[in-house]
A and B are shown apart, each in its own frame.
Chain A
Amino acid sequence: MRLDQLPLKCPAKVAAVAWDDLAETAARRLRELGLDEGVTVEALHVAPFGKDPIACRVGRMTVALRRAQAHCITVEMAA
């Protein structure tokens, strides 16, 4: 499942990140914000207009990102 498809309030773990599909600056920013395989993520909020961007918990941080960017992140829901 991709992060943009993850239902709200369902903690999951990052399984893989398609770094190459992200713009270079976006990829680096995501790394700086602590995104990495194995990190816990959870979709928290969806922006009111057009349901884009989304706000996700990444580790201890809350990070806002667009759906297209979240689509590059594969997640696994906790069983």
Chain B
Amino acid sequence: MNPAPMVALVGNPNAGKSALFNALTGARQKVGNYPGVTVERKAGRMSLPDGRPIELIDLPGTYSLEPASPDEQVTRDVLFGKQDGERLPQAILCVVDATNLDNHLRFTLQLIALGLPVVVALNMVDMAERDGLKIDAAKLSKELGVPVIPTVAVRKRGVDDLKAAMDVLVGDGSARKIAAGPGFHHEDLVVLQRRARAIALAATTEEHGARKVSHRIDSIALHPIAGPILLFGLMFVVFQAVFAWAQPPMDAITAGFDWLGHWVETNFPNGFVRNLLAEGVIKGTGAVVTFLPQILILFFFILLLEATGYMVRAAFIMDRLMARVGLSGRAFIPLLSSFACAVPGIMATRTIDDPKDRLTTILIAPLTTCSARLPVYSMIITACIPDRQLAPYVGLRGVVFFGLFVFGIVSALLAALILRRTVTKGPSQGFMMEMPKYQMPSVRDVGLGLWTRALIFLKRAGTIILASNVILWVLASYPVAPAGRLQTEYSIAGRIASAIEVVVKPIGFNHHIALALPPAMAAREVAVSALATTYAIDAGDDTDAASSAVEPKIAKDWSLPTALAFLMWFVFAPQCLSTIAVTRRETNGWKWPAFMVSYLFVLAYVAAGATFWIATWAGL
């Protein structure tokens, strides 16, 4: 069977490309990666009016066909049929922002020159009208020589007309060779720009005094005093929400897994299967899935700030401060995303043009407090830090939590400062960004974004985390210890841990920590499930002890200096294979991930050791 015809969705950044992609394909999307590069490949299925399927692929937004970043390189390569693992598209769906025609049309002219059939979606016509602009789509179509369909992607307006136009374009579905071929003639950008401006002028029938909504919002959002207050206020709300709002659903998930574990223990015959399910699978995976609400809330805010256009303003406000440590405001967005997870954060560095800036941002991204650390911090703080009020509404636990966050940020900035003067030395390229219009985000776009994140997280919990839990459980359960010997010391995992213990003992770590560290390389939150599993194995058939929470056992077993050293270890340690893998892909080799892993482990060891000895000396 012939595969469905492929249409490439292309456009400038901020043209509303993703919203149009969502409007055309709905939830029928597949997010993957191009081989060799970590540029996300987003493809979806849509049907033409006659029911024929089309594979629509959402290419990274770019300003021109001369690539400045890996993202833009992919767009170019796909359109030239040179991207590995991708067919040549049959047609191009080009999205332009109706309020910004002069600029977006230049790219459209470049695309038309490629020789593939093109249809133009004249997007955000509602915004153009709001700004007092009237554009004659028919006239524009005549000037460009391709169909032009007015759309409002976020409201799903014009989608049917667009499908009808694509139907004609795709025709019988046979792929056409690009007329100009790879020897595509680069017209001077300035010449193209002037032609684009002339066409835009001709197609604009009316233009009167614009009501600049974005401008008015910016006079507050970028105000010298109100702007920073708003930014820090927003960040405060985000972190507050992550911890406060997430609690009820997290409690519900924990209760659900506890119930499931209990059900398995009462309904299965005592033996290998029951223990594996209850101790390895349910307890281990449950400890991680519990954190889904926190991750979703954090991503919700990040998606919202991105969709509204506020993120670029945040970068604008922060640029000067980032410049102090040798970075640019552009690094702010990837670093903020790293608070959710360093993997999307590192992937978001692709928007940074300057290679040295980008490398520095990648190297410090693992220092921001990602959501995988929350379970670890949460567990240890609950277990070892007394629930004392320091002042009304200010609890000691909250202060420790906040302290760890701030410590992560400060270390990241210091690391950037040092790296920028040593290994990533070079002149700064400055800061240059388009500031998009403010936009009301659509529920569907944010919802789809969250859905994708939730799936990725659950898939991870169901595969890599589940697998490491099962392996750990087996290694920690066998061989079975004779009476009088502790299982966690006698087992295979226990013996490995005893070897590690020699190295980590000087920084205050005990046998259980040594046992949890290797599996936590898979992902930091595995430390939580690993500790839960190993303490559960030690408790053995004593059902009461096995089913109760792990925190009291830690509270009994660990000294305060050990707990603090463990927290400090997790501020620095690169305990995350995904981060290492994504760094390798983004930097095209093992050199930088190797460097990153070494400097972070050294920092972790030194910081944990210093914390342990200072705390011991202070008599804590």
Measured CB to CB, the residues of A under 8 A from B are: 23, 25-26, 28-34, 36, 44-50, 52-53, 55, 59-66, 68-69
Contact = CB atoms under 8 A, between A and B. Distances in A.
Interface of B: 63-64, 66, 68, 99-103, 106, 189-190, 193-194, 197, 214-215, 218-219, 222-225, 227-228, 312, 315-317, 319-321, 323, 329, 353-354, 427, 429-435
B594 to A, nearest CB: 28
B519 to A, nearest CB: 43
A45 B222 contact: yes
6 contacts: A32-B189, A48-B228, A49-B320, A53-B320, A64-B434, A66-B323
A9 B197 CA distance: 23
Contacts of B435: 55, 61-64
Contacts of A34: 102-103, 106, 193
A66 B431 contact: yes
A23 B323 CA distance: 17
Contact of A23 (B193, B316, B429): B429
A26 B432 CA distance: 7
Given A25-B429, A28-B66, A29-B68, A60 B102 contact: yes
Nearest to B321: A49
B432 A65 contact: yes
A65 B63 contact: no
Q: Is the interface of B mostly helix, strand, loop or mixed?
A: helix
A48 B430 contact: no
Nearest to A32: B63
A20 to B, nearest CB: 15
B222 A52 contact: no
B316 A53 contact: yes
B225 A48 contact: yes
Contacts of B323: 52, 66
Contacts of A33: 63, 103, 432, 434
B222 A48 contact: yes
Contacts of A31: 189-190, 193
A65 B320 contact: no
B430 A68 contact: yes
Given A36-B193, A36-B194, A53 B431 contact: yes
Nearest to B63: A32
Contacts of A68: 430
B430 A26 contact: yes
Most buried by A among B106, B224, B427, B435: B435
A52 B102 contact: no
Contact of B99 (A36, A53, A60, A69): A60
A66 B70 CA distance: 24
- A-B residue pairs, 10 tightest by C-beta: A32-B63, A49-B320, A62-B435, A45-B222, A50-B320, A34-B103, A48-B224, A66-B430, A65-B432, A31-B189
Contacts of A30: 432
Contacts of A45: 218-219, 222, 316
A48 B315 CA distance: 12
A14 to B, nearest CB: 12
A55 B228 contact: no
Contacts of B433: 63-65
B434 A53 contact: no
A47 B361 CA distance: 22
